[in-house]
Amino acid sequence: MDRKDNEKTGKNFRIAIIGSGAGGILAAIKLYQAGVGEITVFEKASDLGGTWRDNTYPGLVCDIPSHLYRFSFAPNPDWSRTFSPGSEIYSYLRRVAEKYNVEEMIRYNNEVIRLEYYEGRWRLETNQGDQGGFDVVISAVGILHHPVYPDIEGLDSFEGDCFHSARWDHNVSYEGKRIGIIGTGSTAVQITSAIIDDVEKLSLFQRTPQWVLAAPNDFYSQEQKANYRENPEEMTSVYNSLAQTLNQGFAAAVVGQNDEALAIIQQGCQQNLDDNIQDAELKARLTPNYSAGCKRLVVSDQFYPAVSKQNAELVTDSITRIEAKGICTADGRRHELDVLVLATGFDPHRFLADAEVIGGDGQTLNQAWARGNYAYKTVCVPDFPNLFFLGGPNSPIGNFSYLLTAETQFAYVEKLISLIRHGKLKEVNPKSGITQEFNTNLKKEMKGTVWVSGCQSWYFDHFGNVASWPWTFDKFEQELSEPDLSDFQN
């Protein structure tokens, strides 16, 4: 180990983290605990929290159980419900960040616009100017923060209040008004359920019906919370049990490794529909023509009762245009509206697309990903040394706990960073051939998953590739257990 390598183990070693959502907070905490000298988190917004900062719409609830959707090292005995409201998750992330002094590492209102790898370091530039060189860069930008706006004629001509669900305007009252919602994913389902009793009329514009699994969102009693506080090992037991159920049940089912679990999920969704929708015509329009799990499964025990109410209308005729006073559909109707909500989701495939990222060979990341995003085991890309991704290409997405995915990835990334800090690798740069082989196998295995069984979803990128993990979660953990140095250039 030469002097330069030895210095990397000390305070001269600099790491940049892009994003202060759950992944960025996790990385900052763990790197600080590992003794990294200088850690800087670059955040484009003025606050931390990522998805849970940006989304504040009525009815927002996480569809992963509360006691699983948390950092393994930061249990929370005070979750209010089985599935946490978004505001509670935001508060949880802020408390964790404050406990570990993460905010001291964050530079707010600093959007990364350029990264260039030069002489073994990343030169980083934000909209605030040159930020200097970093030995390692970790992208924790997340996937649900680039809102998608529908390409519908006349959208800009609507004279009422109109906004994306991720940009909810709390200055606009929906009480006693005619509300239109475009979209029928989890967001639209939650908004519909939350506001239906307060509006004059709600028109839900559906392009494709969704399978909806009923899951009561019960409150935790004060006694239950007190028990968790006094016996934290019980929270660990619940965490492990929920992880096992989700990963060996649902996660295995959607990748074709647990047909029995998939059949149970399908049966549960059908039962929810049958029990709550009595009108045969409405039921037919709410019934998907694809398997449960093909799209992200919607979890709600309130949606079907809500959409059945007299002041709710499910509109399944396609939208032809939007006018000043409302929406026109293919059946010739004009649906007059006061407020229009665009619950049309996000583009989850952009990653660092808004920044110019120049690798060691002069190629940009956007050029490398011109035909679709790819990575070595979801965390790094050939010819972009010492650049790591949390939630990178083909990470387990969908009805999984992102925090569990991010912790698995970061534990692996931390081992790779340690190899650099201690001089065992000059740089972490996966071999192109190994990476290509991994992605060839990934695409081959994807053919056996439920995601390609006959539906369109946001899992598909612009080239028809499914951007998720086609194996079990156990395999994900195994693949990211220990680095194989032979997979990297020396």
pLDDT of 144 reads 85
Rounded (5°) CA angle 257-262-268:
165
Point out which residues pair with 341 in neighbouring strands.
Answer: 163, 181
Nearest to 93 by CA among 24, 145, 5: 24
Q: How confident is the model at residue 247 (pLDDT cuts 50, 70, 90)?
A: confident
CA dihedral 301→404→111→101, nearest 10 degrees, is 110
Reply yes or no on whether the pLDDT at 364 is more than 90: yes
Q: Are 306 and 300 in contact (CB under 8 A)?
A: no
Is the pLDDT at 282 greater than 60? The verdict is: yes
pLDDT of residue 3: 30
In terms of pLDDT, which residue wins out, 422 or 224? Answer: 224
Strand 38-42 and strand 14-18: the pairing is parallel
Q: Is 77 within 8 Å of 235 (Cβ atoms)?
A: yes
Instruction: Quick: pLDDT tens for 366-422.
Output: 999 999 999 999 999 999 999 999 999 999 987 779 999 999 999 999 999 999 999
pLDDT tens sequence across 440-454: 999 999 999 999 999
Residue 8 — pLDDT band, cuts 50, 70, 90?
Answer: low
pLDDT confidence band for 1 (50 / 70 / 90): very low
* Per-residue pLDDT at 11: 58
Residues 322, 326: Cα–Cα separation, whole Å: 6
3-state secondary structure of 178: strand
Tell me phi and psi for residue 458, to 5 degrees: -75, -5
CATH numeric code, 155-216+241-342: 3.50.50.60
- Plot region of 349 (φ>0 → left; ψ -120 to 50 → alpha; else → beta): alpha
Amino acid 279: pLDDT: 97
Classify domain 3-146+347-487 by CATH number: 3.50.50.60
Contact 298, 192 (CB under 8 A): no
CA 25/CA 412 separation, integer angstroms:
16
Query: Which pLDDT score is estimated for 2?
Result: 34
pTM exceeding the 0.75 threshold for the entire prediction: yes
Q: In this predicted model, what pLDDT tens digit does every residue of 460-490 receive, in sequence order?
A: 999 999 999 999 999 999 999 999 999 999 7
Average pLDDT over residues 199-218: 97
With residues binned 3-state (H G I as helix, E B as strand, rest as coil), the percentages for the chain, rounded to 5, are 35, 20, 45
Mean pLDDT of 432-441: 98
Residue 416: CA count within 13 A, CB half-sphere: 31
User: Do the domains at 3-146+347-487 and 155-216+241-342 have one common CATH topology?
Assistant: yes
pLDDT at residue 4, rounded to an integer = 40
**Confidence (pLDDT) at 5:** 40
pLDDT tens by residue, 151-204 = 999 999 999 999 999 999 999 999 999 999 999 999 999 999 999 999 999 999
Kindly give the interhelix angle for 86-99 and 22-33, rounded to the nearest 10 degrees.
Answer: 20
Domain extent listing, the chain: 3-146+347-487, 155-216+241-342
Average pLDDT value for residue range 294-315: 97
Residue closest to 315 by CA, chosen among 183, 161, 457, 162: 183
* pLDDT exceeds 70 at position 9: no
Name the least confident of 4-13, 109-118, 131-140, 418-427: 4-13
Of the chain, the percentage scoring pLDDT greater than 70 comes to: 98
What lies within 8 Å, CB to CB, of 375 at 6+ separation is 381, 389, 392, 393, 394, 435
Q: Please give the average per-residue pLDDT across 435-443, as a whole number.
A: 98
Give all strands (DSSP E) within 127-193, no chain letters: 129-134, 136-139, 161-164, 178-182
Angle subtended by helix axes 222-230 and 232-245, to nearest 10: 100
- Mean pLDDT for 51-68 is 97
**136 near 417, Cβ under 8 Å?**
yes
Closest to 412 measured CA to CA, from 375, 372, 373: 375
75 φ/ψ angles, rounded to the nearest 5 degrees? -65, 155
Q: Are 194 and 279 in contact (CB under 8 A)?
A: no
Q: Which whole number is the average pLDDT over 351-357?
A: 94
The mean predicted confidence, pLDDT, of the chain is: 95
